[in-house]
Every structure is written in C-alpha cells, then in structure tokens.
Structure 1
Amino acid sequence: MASVFLSYSRVDRPKAQQVAAALEEEGLTVWWDKVLKAGQTYDEVTEGMLRQADVVVVLWSTVSVKSRWVRAEATLGERYSAVVPAMIEEADRPILFELTQTADLIGWDGDRTEQRWNDFVTDLRHAITRKAAKTTEQAVTARPAADTASAPVAPARSLSDDGTIENTFWMSIQSSTDAADFAAYLKRYPAGHYSDLARNRLAALEAKAKAKTPEPVIAAAPVEKAPTRPATQALARQRRLSMLALIAGGVVLLVGAGWGVSLLLPSDVEATETVAEQAMDPVEPAMVDIAEAETVARDDTLAVAETEFADAVLTEVAFVEPSEEIVAAPEPVQTGPQRDCSICPEMVAVPGGTFQMGSPDSEPGRVGNEGPVRSVTVAPFVMSRSEITYADWDACLADGGCNGYRPGDTGERGEMPAMSISWRDAQNYVDWLSGKAGRTYRLPTEAEWEYAARAGTQTAYWWGDAFDRTMVSAGGPKASSGMAENAYGLVGTLGNVREWVEDCYVNNYSNAPTDGSAVLTGSCDLRIIRGGAWSDNAATHRAANRARVSRGTRDRKIGFRVVSSDAKP
C-alpha cells in the first residue's frame, strides 16, 4: 500500500516526478505514475488508491487548480485520507481548499535540505500518524453485530455520499454554465450515470450560446453615429483644405484688387497685425455632428474662407496638432553600457555608497537569514548589465575558455541568460574574461549584488514594496533586451534566473563585514545565490532574499553576472 497518493495535472508531471522521487528518498511509498495495466480503468484504480493511502498530496498549479479531475481527487482524499496540499506555482486555490494549510514548494528545485521541504515532510508524517491513530481507534471501538435482526438499518446513501470519481466530478459541475465541463464529463463517461443529463445540459448551453451570437453588422451611413471630437475636427480640417483650393484663385484676385484699395487704408502694417491677431485668437470648435459640419461648410463659406486665409498666413497651410509642436527638452547625456573588448559583456558603472543590507522584520516573506539589517558601505564598481548570456558564454568557448563546458545545448541561445552554470563554471568564465579584458573580473560579493539590485531603494523590490510580475520573467527566462532596467541600468537582477555571488554561506549577518567585501568563512562548499527565477514566488524575488546551493550544482534556473573593481587600463 502506498502511504502517499500524489494528485497533479499531467502538465505538471516533471515536478510530480521530482516530488515523488524526493518523498521516496524520505522513506515514504508514493503512488503517482498513473499508468494503467491491461483491463484496468482509471477510476477503479484511482479510487482504490485514494481509499488506501494514508495521505493525499495535491500539487496546486495554474493548471491543476482549474482541473476538475484534480479537484475530484482532492475532495475524495479529504473523505478517505488526510490531504496535504502544496503550491508549486502561484495560483488561486479552489475555494473548498482555501482554509487548508498549504505547503509552499514554489521554485523548490529538489533540495531535500531546504527548510521548506523539511517542513512539508514533517507535515506529511504527522498526517500519516494521525491517520494510523484514527484507524486503530475505529478498529477498537467497532463492535460486530451479535444479532443482525436487531441491527439498525443503515440509512440510504445520498447522492453526495457516493464516493466515486464520477459522482464527485458530476457534483462539481452540475450547476455549471460552461459547456466545456459537460463535454469533459461525456468524454470520460460516454455511458455514465449522468450522461443523458450531461448531453441535455450541453445542448441547452450550446443553443443558448448560439442565440447570443450577434447578427452580421451591415455597414450603415456615417450619420447614424456622431463622430468623436477628434474625428469631427479632422473632417472640418479636410473640408477647409478642400475649400482653400477653391478660393485660392479668388484670394489672388482679391489681393490684386485690394492693392489699390490698400492705398486708402491707414497702414499696411496695421492691417496685417489685425489679421494676425484674429488668427492668433484660440477658437475652440464646438462638438457637432457631420450634418452640422456640412451646414457650416455650405452656409458659412465666407467665415471659413477668412479663417483658412489667416491659418495659411501663420502656418503655410500646415495644420500641426499641438502635441507635435511641443519639443521635449533633451535628456541629459549619460554614459551607457560599455565593453572592455569586442567579445566582453556589456558593463554598467555602479556608483559607490552606503545602504541598509537585509530585510526588516516587518517585510512580508522575510526569513531569518536576511538579518540583522546593518549599514554597509560599497566602493564603486562595474557590473555586467544583464546575467551573462549564451552569446557571452559561447564567445568564451570559441576562444578556448570555460573548460569546454557548453550549457543548454537545446533551446534558444543568443541574448538569453546562460543557465545550468555552477559556481565553479562561473569561476572559469571570469578567469577567461580577466585575460581578455586586461583587468580582474570576478563574481559580485553578496553586498555588491544587493546594493546594485536595490539601485538606491530600500523597498522589497527596486520598483516598490508590491510584487509586480510584469517587471520580471514568468513561464520561462527572457532575453536581456526584454527586461526592465533599474535606476542603475541593470536588468534581470530581481528576475529571470538566480545568480551566484562570491560569498560562502553564513546563516545571518551578525558577523558579516560592513565594507562590501565577500564572506570567505563558514560553509564554503555552499555558496549564495540571489534574485528570483521565472518560476519563483514573490518572496524569492525580493532584493534581500538569499539561498544556499552547493557550488558544484548546475541548475537550469541558476546563472550569474560579473563585476570588476579594477580601474580600466
């Protein structure tokens, strides 16, 4: 008998396999690979395992929370076993399970020494112990009926007491207004207990949706709907331009004839100023419909002609929107990213300064190894604008460096961050880069990394205290060109991939240096990684978040960036 039943969406199968393998290493038996033998049906096997399991682990993800089948398994799990759910992606849990304590395995990479995993396994063992105690108690208190004639008649089971996958699924959709729910039921149970009812509901919903489909719209005359104000202004402008061409000849004649008349006027200058003053008068056009515009164009030709003549004098018949006339002040010239050589990464200058390193007790998501908060002074340095990309790494390989290691042989390369890089691999890259650039490159110290990631802020993220998924990558890594810049011009510091720093791991900052240098004592086989990766939760993306990883680990969510504090030759 499996002590753990693992419920998950098949989209999350790789993560389920990782969780199952780790649980078995903890000494637990797990039923998770839903492969059926000849003659077996999914429901009979699943229901049997659900009844026998001591605990049901439900992996909630953006897909599984919407899966009726995972919800059905979780519901039956609560009926027959204990349920211990775990979040593997940020998602809204089903309402039924909102109040159930849920483990946080978002971004967990299989490390069985991680505290979150240890807490999760502890919860599982407690649930298994409670289930065993409950089973024993039921066995002790159960009394065989000595006289079957006098035994009370068991009440008839209601529909809601029918503990089958089919019934549980039907109960969850019977009031649904989504045709896809009934289609899903019929696909699994074409001859099920509720198949006729499901077909009727499906037909009714499809008919209702068809009835709501709008009839094709026949293009109507424009006069049926008044244009917006910009459209009215554009129409008036177009008509005025057309009319200008018609009256141009007349204007020429008028000017010629008016030359003689102008001799009788007090002053040519005075007349010109009068016209200019009239033209400079701001005229706010009224909101009118097309019919009204045509009436104005037809019945007030003289007024339009005068206005057009004045506009022509001032703008030479070039009608420019006000927004186009405003010239923005030039931005101050800034020194952008620079390279030390043609195949070196882009580097950004980071000014020195003093900041508060770590997170306060009040920061949501904080863990104990992020404190105590202390003042740290960092000297100026240069840092790679983004994580080292595949293009950067491939340049090292082509030049005979990086120990010949080629990470990520599949998928997109180029400006994507180089992944599956160990701390040792990163050291090989900086050794090669130092030889090409003429100055010493290295991994950033933990203090330098946090100082650069914060970019002058003290909030949880460089953009504020609230997590904003649009500022980071999600669903997969991004090319460096697609990431938002912080105030120092760095991209990807709080997202994309996690990044190695130079420091050995210590579990707090009590004795850490305050001059921005690296910690080189403590657990030096464990090195620090910083910043969140594309599948990590909000807490992991915080500027103060830190984790420890063995320096030989090559994980697809870990990369690095480089720094130099040497003067450029």
Structure 2
Amino acid sequence: DLLLAHEIAADLNWDWLAERDALFGVLKHRLAQAMAGTLDEPGVPARDRVRIGAILAELGDPRPGVGTLPPAMVELPGGTLVLGSTPEQADAARRAWEQYWLQQGNKDQAKSARRWPDDEINDHPVTLAPFAIGRYPVTNAQYAVFIAAGGYDPAAPWWDAAGRAWLARDDDATEGLRSWQRRQRKDQPEAWDDEAFGHGRGNYPVVGVNWYEAMAFGRWLTASLNDGLVYRLPSEAEWEYAARRQTRRNYPWGA
C-alpha cells in the first residue's frame, strides 16, 4: 500500500500536489516515516527494502543517524571469539566457490578456489573490549557535512602526514599506480557526482573514498561532535564480531 501510494503521488508530482493543498506535504512526510518503519520488519522482502530505500532518498529519510549526525550507534558488550572459519565452514566455502567458477567456465579460478578457504581456518581466540559500531554505513548526506566543513583542507588537523601526502600527490604524474588508485579530484569522493550512487541520494552509503579519507572523516567527526567518543574504522576483529558474534555464523542475519 505504501509503495502504491508513493507511485500514484510521484506520477502526479509531489510538488504539483503540494501547490494545490498543503496537506500533501504532511502526507509526504508521514509516508516517509511509515516506509522507514517497515525497514525494521523482518517480513518485508529484500526487494521491497531496496525499493523503499531508493524512495526515501527522494522523499527524505527520517531515520535518525541516516541523513543527520551523530550517527546511530549500536553498543556491543565485547567478549572472546574465534575469528575466521572452522574446517567445516572452509570446506563448504571451497565447494561452493569451486562450483560457482566452474559454472562460469573459469577452470583456473575454480582451481584457486580449492585452496584459498584454508587460509581462513583458525582456532585461536581473541578477546575484545566493549565497543560501539554504526548501525548504518556513513551516508552521502553525512559525508556532505564533512565536505562543507572544509573536510578536504590539507591544513585541517584531521589529516595526518600520509593523508596530506595523498592529497598533494599528482596521480597522473605518478608511476606505478593502478587505475583504481588514480583520482581525478581530491576534494570529494570519486563517485560523488554519480547519479546512481552520489550525493543526490542522501541516504545511500558514501562510496569512492579511500583509507585516508575514511580516517580523516573519523577524526573530523570526533572533533566535531566532541561527545567523548572516538570515531574510527572498526578493526578486522571488531567487524567480524559485529557480523558473526561468538557463534561464527555465516551471515550477519544468523543463518
């Protein structure tokens, strides 16, 4: 019903409707809130979640910590976990990837897939202190605040020496760089102007940023919010703990 209501209103044009009756502005806001609420319902198919997310990029995503700062955080108690895979999980991954590449007609990749899962096998525990992780990826709308605050100023304190060196580097004149390492601009993310993923879609995850930009954003956010927290990228162990917990599940949703 929500999707149909938006489809009808969008076909007529929201602005056209609002010009004729101010109640349509209220309806647009309430529709966005109702759509956002459905994203927490496990029974909503993934296809509809994706569609709702794209619509909320147009309507304005009302979820706190998506288009605004501070980001929404989830506190995790920490604890002891074993990273990587069990021998059984590695064997299942080996067989699945081998079959996938054989179906693609790539025997070399299939042969390689028989070996790489062994690198994931591990039985040594790691203990993590309590920490918090973002409920959502950093969005274009949030990153836009960083840009507007002079985020790419090399003199700003959130850039370290390595980051400043990257900002100053002329990628076209630097030998040995791969295509994905060469940036045309260094005052915004690589995909910032992309119609499908860029700043026009505020609630989409920001893409086309590298390590230096991500670290600078975290330092800026720490200084900007000044809420007693240190914002940074999660470690490999923290990321895996957030997704798998101590059960070493295959997927974040538990399967």
Higher strand share: 1
- Give the TM-score normalised by structure 1: 0.21
Higher helix share: 2
Larger Cα Rg: Structure 1 or Structure 2? Answer: 1
- Give the TM-score normalised by structure 2: 0.45
Higher relative contact order (CA 8 A, sep 6+): 2
